[in-house]
Amino acid sequence: MSPPEVSGKTACRRTAADGLFPDTDSVVKNFRNVKSDIIRYNLYGIFVSLWKPKTYRTMKFFIDTANLEQIRKAHELGVLDGVTTNPSLMAKENIRGTENCNRHYVEICNIVEGDVSAEVIATDFEGMVREGEALAALHPRIVVKLPCTAAGIRAVKYFAAKDIRTNCTLVFSVGQALLAAKAGATYVSPFVGRLDDISEDGVALVAHIVKVYRTYGYKTQVLAASIRHTQHIIQCLDAGADVATCPLAAIEGLLRHPMTNSGLEKFLADHARLNT
Ligand code: E4P
């Protein structure tokens, strides 16, 4: 059956109503909708960016020593965020006996406004808990440092439940870092330099741990330890470490550049030529 005959005007109106060609009214209406959408979403974007707190991450600098003079020097530089110690570093300063060690930790806490890691000596769970509780009671900024052993992981879990902060140390694999994070460690310390010493890639381990923690949202901070030189610091920065604990020489090494020295010499010479 052939379609009924219609006039040109009717045909045009029917075609627009069928949606084949938009009429002027709907074009204007669509344009208004798009315009109000743009305004609405822009306002929403502005609101979200104002409301959402901005979070900037920086890599913290800890100094890896028990030497008070070096700690003061790094602190005076104005860039120090904390201190890590270990039994070898305490022995290097010739500090013996629990009382002297405790006094020394408090002295460090009085210099630096940041976390100070103090390591337990015990290797069994009960001993770690006993020593860790005594260390944590010394000062609110003390972080109990525990080795990444079965007893150490148990102790990390124990302290996490009591809101006592921990640094899980002697970490040489992603598996160890995973257990430390699952137990609730505040910090995990992969030993960069000691891995490099045996032809492994310490910085690659830091990067791997950072990736795993970010993927799964673990809150444990990656504290790159056993840093030997400035390049380690830069590489750990690139790897996304939360903290690098470094010897004073490595921190000071970051400053050194011959062009800074020669540039300054020239500035001062030019100034002196006209002012003396
Ligand atoms: C820090 O927490 C570690 O104990 C330390 O960085 C180890 O460094 P080392 O390998 O130079 O002894």
Q: pLDDT of 119-176, one tens digit each?
A: 999 999 999 999 999 999 999 999 999 999 999 999 999 999 999 999 999 999 999 9
- Measured by CA distance, the residue closest to atom 9 of ligand 1 is 226
> Residue 20: pLDDT above 80?
no
Atom of ligand 1 nearest to the CA of 225: 6
Catalytic positions, written as ranges: 145
What average pLDDT score do residues 236-261 get?
97
Residues ≥6 apart with Cβ < 8 Å to 68: 93, 104, 107, 108, 111
With beta carbons less than 8 A apart as the criterion, state whether 181 and 211 touch: no
Q: What is the pLDDT of residues 39-53, one digit of tens each?
A: 766 776 666 666 655
Alpha-carbon Rg for the chain, nearest whole angstrom, is 31
Q: Which two tokens stand for residue 235?
A: 């590489």
Residue 14: per-residue pLDDT = 47
Q: What is the pLDDT of residues 201-224, one digit of tens each?
A: 999 999 999 999 999 999 999 999
Residue 53: per-residue pLDDT = 55
**How confident is residue 5, by pLDDT bands cut at 50, 70 and 90?**
very low
Q: How far is the CA of 245 from the centre of ligand 1 (A)?
A: 8
Q: How far is the CA of 218 from the centre of ligand 1 (A)?
A: 23
Residue 55: per-residue pLDDT = 57
Within 6 Å (CB) of ligand 1, which residues are found?
A: 64, 84, 86, 169, 189, 191, 193-194, 225-226, 245
Residue 276: per-residue pLDDT = 86
With beta carbons less than 8 A apart as the criterion, state whether 179 and 202 touch: no
Residue 7: per-residue pLDDT = 42
57 phi and psi angles, rounded to 5 deg: -95, 140
- Measured by CA distance, the residue closest to atom 12 of ligand 1 is 226
> Residue 11: pLDDT above 60?
no
Q: How far is the CA of 11 from the centre of ligand 1 (A)?
A: 86
Question: b/e map of 160-186 (b: 16 or more CB within 10 Å)?
Answer: beeebbbbbbbbbeeebbbbbbebbbb
- Measured by CA distance, the residue closest to atom 4 of ligand 1 is 86
Candidate of 144, 187, 198, 226 to mutate for ligand 1, largest count of ligand atoms within 8 Å of Cβ: 226
Q: How far is the CA of 64 from the centre of ligand 1 (A)?
A: 7
With beta carbons less than 8 A apart as the criterion, state whether 232 and 253 touch: no
